[in-house]
Amino acid sequence: MRSRNGECAAELQTAAGLFNPQLVQMLLELNREIGSDVFIAANAYDLNMDFVTNPRAYGFVTSQVACCGQGRFNGIGLCTILSNLCPNRDIFAFWDPFHPTERANRIIVSTIVTGSTKYMNPMNLSTIMAMDSLV
């Protein structure tokens, strides 16, 4: 949306980028008050941005064109019967202007389960589940 060459809208990216650091700080404070790591934050924004800046590292051909939509980059509207549809959704990072493809979502979920603190804070889901099973 609002793009002439496939880039993300700067003001929307700035707003999204401000959210996760504040969420992590809030959850760290809540965990400190409780005295245990009860809450974890998943930073899907940074992972999505990794898809955007380096789609080939994840096996995607592009992040600038959505698989299904209208307009030059399929960045207008949601996927409808009138949309352009890509021939292979597995090589696209985004399904429509807003949502990752199924393959991208699988990468996101895998990162939530086993990822580093770059994306998961204070720990990933498998670590907190293992800790919970010891209790």
> CA dihedral defined by 70, 104, 13, 82, rounded to 10 degrees?
10
Single pTM value for the model = 0.81
Residue span of the structural domain in which 56 resides: 10-134
80 within a domain of the structure (yes/no):
yes
- Total of domains in the chain: 1
Q: Which residues of the chain have pLDDT under 50?
A: none
Q: What is the pLDDT of residue 61?
A: 95
Q: Phi and psi dihedrals of 19, rounded to 5?
A: -70, -55
114 within a domain of the structure (yes/no):
yes
Q: What is the pLDDT of residue 135?
A: 67
Measured from the Cβ of residue 82, the count of other Cβ atoms closer than 10 Å reads: 8
Q: What is the pLDDT of residue 3?
A: 57
Q: What is the pLDDT of residue 70?
A: 92
3 within a domain of the structure (yes/no):
no
Q: What is the pLDDT of residue 106?
A: 95
16 within a domain of the structure (yes/no):
yes
4 within a domain of the structure (yes/no):
no
